[in-house]
Structure 1
């Protein structure tokens, strides 16, 4: 795909349509193993599994949710394969050449926050392992740096630097990292599950855990109702689909490197419905076995590995899940923020420069650890605005443009996507209407029913997308 006389304000080599396409089905598959197999992903998967009540409900709720995720990722993924452009450039078609910076920066804000949170989670796994040594425990208790223990600070810095090294040579390095890290995590998860099942002497699916204990342990998953009820199963499916809200926007950052649509389809098929069902099943079975062995609902793998008698297994588990969390950080946060920041000033900020900005913001946030405070609610509020953005992007690409896009014009200031001085007013009207129903009304007022917030992202997609379609139809 060629660009014709691109504007320096809209173009650099990193934002240009991808020409070096080496990502086969296995690499696409490992985008999802890297994205899902984190400490938080494990917590959510295990929680949702247990809240289903039994194996059949799990297959129905998580299976349905995983198929919806597959369908949505295929939609945005195909756009990436056909155009070869990253998310902020694709957004120019609907939001305007310069207006696209708004949805891009919304995505970047969320990415920076969770970049810091995931870095802290990965370093926490290393801290938990180090505390088994008396000298490290004493250092942890006696040294303070920037409001944290010296050990926490050094481990955070270590993981922070490792992530920069992974991304230093661009997207091809990301692909290589994913291709070995994803399978390694699966091996460790199976070891963890088999170890606990053998130790407990039984294979169960969580129904024996008292309901009050289960609900208390899974409260952060945000799923209402009682385990196994229809309301809960609906919320489980919705929560699982919404968990991927950020990647629905920027999956084209990865699919643009796919060899073809066949590789994308096969990679997504194995990486989403198959991998997601298997991941949730293993996480749930492992948590159930841990209940029988330790008498606690341990929903994080590092909590389980910390109880191992075997130092070797503890080290293996801690390192593996630190790598897994590092993997999701690169996929879900680093890459997106790198392209998003680069899109604001393409002539001055490269992909590496954008990634460094994101990393420095996360490092600057570390002393306050906002991911451990109510700031998380603010970021989730910002994140819920991704529903209308996704709706507008997909309506524009599939319903307005019928899957055909003038890629060269995406890099021209005075081309097809200039709209009103580089801003598309109709897209922003639709964006505002969508936000009203996905974020503002359900979180700031009592006008809507309490269950609305669980499905806020869906309302944002539908209302934002429908409003955009109606407004664009007036042009005809």
Structure 2
């Protein structure tokens, strides 16, 4: 009976279930190729973006520089705690963000928060591409006199889409090249701007702006900055090398911590510092215009090249991959990964990023508020409700336990609306309100309403040997004719449905 049921489930997937596409199947232990250093390079590449300069400049306009840097560092360190928790979804089960959301939101309900995140990621792609296009245009204009950023927006966007479509290995290679170059150029850039500030009679450490900016507002804005990646970090961590059979959380996620707790806060603080010094020196947060005004010859080209590399390395990991996977999750099986990336590029352009950039703090606050609630729900569902155990086969079944009420889990939707709504009402405290409130509401609703009405196998029978993967040295593997099963790496059949890369 059990074998017949397994074959039936496999047949359902093979016939075009809207819950399955190769790009969103779990990754196996032998497909996780990113080491600790590689993950650090990815995070440095992601953190060094032009929008971070604006955060630093916005802070120093109303606060002392030392206060700004400490606040930004602590905000990113705090957010790193959330990321370390959600990262385990990727390292333990090899799951993408959108697929995991089927557990707390339902097989249909997942599309609301996941596509929301996808649109946000696509919009960020547009912002980064626009800033990179300005830098490209600056280089070409200086060298040839041709001045048209729209052309370079199209060229830069297409190049990034192709690079991301080549898979995670190509993204990792780009990050390993871009990050060291960005660090070197940014150090030179800092001292150049500091000298400029000194020449204009400003001491960067005693500069006092008069804008209305509080430590709390800066702290929350910086948490909102990476709130999207805090929820969908499994999209990347499912490709991190991890030790099969590692039951200990710290051991299993050892390649996560240096990047989350050192690379992210240090890189973010460093780039914010440069933005702040740029503002102190010239009154302009945007280093593109500062560089164009101060640099000449090779200096101009090299510094603008840093801008391009920074936007490129961020877009592939932090924006195009998350957006593409959420769109694939919504459009499977007809929409594959490559087309998901193309759609992300189109959506990001239609968002008119050149307008969003003029209202960055407002944009950060609004989407950060809604996604803070998703983070609270994920942490609650994964750790408090399921104890990291997960009935992964049912995530890909239309009639499984995650169907809930017609594909919707009311607890997830109510907690998201309530938690996100509270975060919007108290926008100055968005993340610190939305995350815990959504977590508590979801926990209560699941315990008193959903679990008694819609039993969850891993909660009814919390059996590690049945519902864990990496911790017990197993992989979630889908094989035509058999369905989803847990296998040791050396026992995975060649017929298993999974591409070698994204």
Question: Among residues 207, 210, 229, which one is paired with 1:209 in the alignment?
Answer: 207
Whether the aligned pair in 1 keeps the contact of 2:122 and 2:345 (CA below 8 Å) is yes
Residue 238 (str. 1) matches residue 220 (str. 2): yes
Partners of 1:298 and 1:379 in 2: CA distance:
20
Residue 95 (str. 1) matches residue 83 (str. 2): no
- Aligned ranges 1:107-186 → 2 under 5 Å: 107-133=117-143, 135-136=145-146, 140=147, 151-186=148-183
Q: Could you tell me how far 1:185 is from its partner in structure 2?
A: 1.0
Task: Provide the residue aligned with 1:348 in structure 2.
Answer: 334
Q: Could you tell me how far 1:152 is from its partner in structure 2?
A: 1.6
Task: Provide the residue aligned with 1:465 in structure 2.
Answer: 439
Query: Can you list the C-alpha shifts for 1:112-170, whole angstroms capped at 9, x where unaligned?
Result: 2222222111101222333435732xxx4xxxxxxxxxx12111111111111211212
Q: Could you tell me how far 1:47 is from its partner in structure 2?
A: 3.8
Q: Could you tell me how far 1:375 is from its partner in structure 2?
A: 10
Q: Could you tell me how far 1:410 is from its partner in structure 2?
A: 1.0
Whether the aligned pair in 2 keeps the contact of 1:204 and 1:288 (CA below 8 Å) is no
Partners of 2:170 and 2:180 in 1: CA distance:
16
Task: Provide the residue aligned with 2:266 in structure 1.
Answer: 277
- Aligned ranges 1:62-461 → 2 under 5 Å: 62-133=72-143, 135-136=145-146, 140=147, 151-197=148-194, 206-212=204-210, 215=211, 224-225=212-213, 232-260=214-242, 262=251, 264-281=253-270, 283-284=272-273, 287-288=276-277, 291=280, 295-364=281-350, 369-371=354-356, 381-439=366-424, 442=425, 452-461=426-435
Specify the SS of the correspondent of 1:327: helix
Specify the SS of the correspondent of 2:37: helix
Q: What is the RMSD of the two structures over their aligned residues, measured on CA atoms?
A: 2.9
Partners of 1:336 and 1:365 in 2: CA distance:
17
TM-score in terms of structure 2 length: 0.78
Query: Can you list the C-alpha shifts for 1:163-207, whole angstroms capped at 9, x where unaligned?
Result: 112112122211211121122211110121233445667998734
179-188 or 374-383, which deviates more: 374-383
Task: Provide the residue aligned with 1:147 in structure 2.
Answer: none
Whether the aligned pair in 1 keeps the contact of 2:84 and 2:260 (CA below 8 Å) is no
Question: Among residues 8, 19, 25, which one is paired with 2:36 in the alignment?
Answer: 25
Query: Can you list the C-alpha shifts for 1:255-279, whole angstroms capped at 9, x where unaligned?
Result: 0111116584444424543542354
Specify the SS of the correspondent of 1:17: coil
Task: Provide the residue aligned with 1:15 in structure 2.
Answer: 24
419-428 or 198-207, which deviates more: 198-207
TM-score in terms of structure 1 length: 0.82
Whether the aligned pair in 2 keeps the contact of 1:370 and 1:376 (CA below 8 Å) is no
CA change 1:315–1:376 in 2 (3 A) is same
Residue 53 (str. 1) matches residue 64 (str. 2): yes
Partners of 1:41 and 1:312 in 2: CA distance:
25
